[in-house]
Amino acid sequence: MRDWRQREPIVIVSGRGAVLRDARGREYLDANSSIWTNLHGHRHPALNAAITRQLGKIAHSSALGLANEPASLLAAKLAALAGYAKTRPLKWVFFSDDGSTAMEAALKMAWQFSLRTGRGPRPKFLSLQSAYHGDTVGAMSLGHIDLFHRTHAGLLFKTDRAPAPYCYRCPFNRARPERADARLYRQCQWECTEVLEQKFAAQKKKGHPYAAFVFEPLMQGAAGMVPQPEGWLRRAARIARAHGALLVADEVLTGFGRTGPTFACQKESVGPDLMALAKGMTGGYMPMAATLATQSIFNVFLGRYEEFKTFFHGHSYTANQLGAAASLASLRLLESAASIRARVRLQKALGEALQNLWSLPNVGDIRQVGLMAGVELVKNWKTRAPFALRERAGLRVCEAMARRGVLTRPVGNVIVLMPPYCTTPGQVRQMAASLSQSVEEVFGAKRAA
């Protein structure tokens, strides 16, 4: 905070498409979709119109014992989209405010389901190494990033961690070939899933099998934009299922087309029992989130009034009409043929623009899943030696990018590029060029000949 207060902040006053404008009239490209939320661009006419129409009716009314039209339509739409897993469709929707609250609701549902189905007096959860699921207490308890969670350790309940497939820094010495070699994971023997299997088996042997396995599908964002190799999620889900654990998918980052399909789980044909959605749900216009559940989860909360089986959890702005109206409009855009074509073009343009960064000696790895990318900065690409956080390597590069008219934030030493879907190929190339020039400026590093 002291460092931040010593600098004059950039004050954003307006935006259009992928461009933001500050109080001094300077323009910037929004290279991380305003912290991973904005899908279709700023001031999109369809989203503006949807919210304006809803304002002509009502902005908000309570959902406690009541219903409203846009939220009901949105719930039906989300359930239809999440019905891809025919044997375990997500049919029921609980609305909340943001990713943390969506995960908090999922955690409570999984806890109650486990208690009511006889999985022991104190259900236990397994999540991934370097997991991040939000900043409320329950969501933090599922997380395993010391920098974020250690300060609050005394508040949290204990959860176990399983190895995440961080292939660039593989602990089993199965790291992929250096630099731009596209033949990924050719030596991998899936040791990380073997350890996952051992974790489940050991816990079951104790007589207290895990109640749920919690994961971010395909890409762990706050861990440093760490992708999972093809097939890992499918294997991990199969192991969890074999041990009777619920699957809880945190799609707060990956949902709504970021990885290609509507939900990242679809890419590996994984049907979770609970799914958390937020960030891009309203197209990045306002806070709204949802926790989707299967029929079997829903059933444990059914009962007569005097049984008190209801889900005792709620929010003042649950099922907010403005957020629901924006979400419905965003989903219509997402499903349009024009949007699908634009995302395919943008993904290709992003991948091509990133290739030029491999020649920089301080670029150790480039990771892309769909329209999400992370560029890991290192002291030397040959040794993969990391920068210490106190060196502010990622922050300094992002500050240099801002001076070049591109805004993003790092995750430690990883620079995130996650453009809105309306971004043009030329704008993507500008983002990548800004990153390249900024790395050269900060580290005095020159491109390889």
Beta bridge partners, 17, equal 42
Residues 65 and 19 in one domain: no
pLDDT (0 to 100) of residue 180:
46
Give domain status of residue 23, yes or no: yes
Give domain status of residue 449, yes or no: no
Residues 300 and 350 in one domain: no
- pTM, to two decimals: 0.95
Q: Which residues of 105-116 are buried (b: 16+ CB within 10 A; e: fewer)?
A: bbbbbbbbbbee
Give domain status of residue 388, yes or no: yes
pLDDT tens track for 356-414? 999 999 999 999 999 999 999 999 999 999 999 999 999 999 999 999 999 999 999 99
Residue 316's Cβ-count burial label (10 Å; 0-12, 13-18, 19+) is: exposed
Return contacts of 66-69, CB within 8 angstroms, 24+ apart: 67/319, 68/319, 68/321, 68/324, 69/321
Residues 316 and 348 in one domain: no
Query: Of 274, 308, 335, which residue sits at a domain end?
Result: 335
Residues 347 and 264 in one domain: no
Give domain status of residue 316, yes or no: yes
- The two three-digit tokens of residue 372, written as one number: 């999400």
pLDDT (0 to 100) of residue 122:
85
> For the chain, what is the domain count?
2
User: Whole domain around residue 15: which residue ranges?
Assistant: 2-30+338-443
Query: Of 298, 316, 335, which residue sits at a domain end?
Result: 335
Residues 180 and 219 in one domain: yes
**Longest CA pairwise span in the chain (Å):** 76
207: confidence class by pLDDT, cuts 50, 70, 90: confident
Query: Of 335, 359, 386, which residue sits at a domain end?
Result: 335
Neighbours of 72 (CB within 10 A): 13
pLDDT tens track for 280-338? 999 999 999 999 999 999 999 999 999 999 999 999 999 999 999 999 999 999 999 99
Residues 289 and 370 in one domain: no
Give domain status of residue 46, yes or no: no
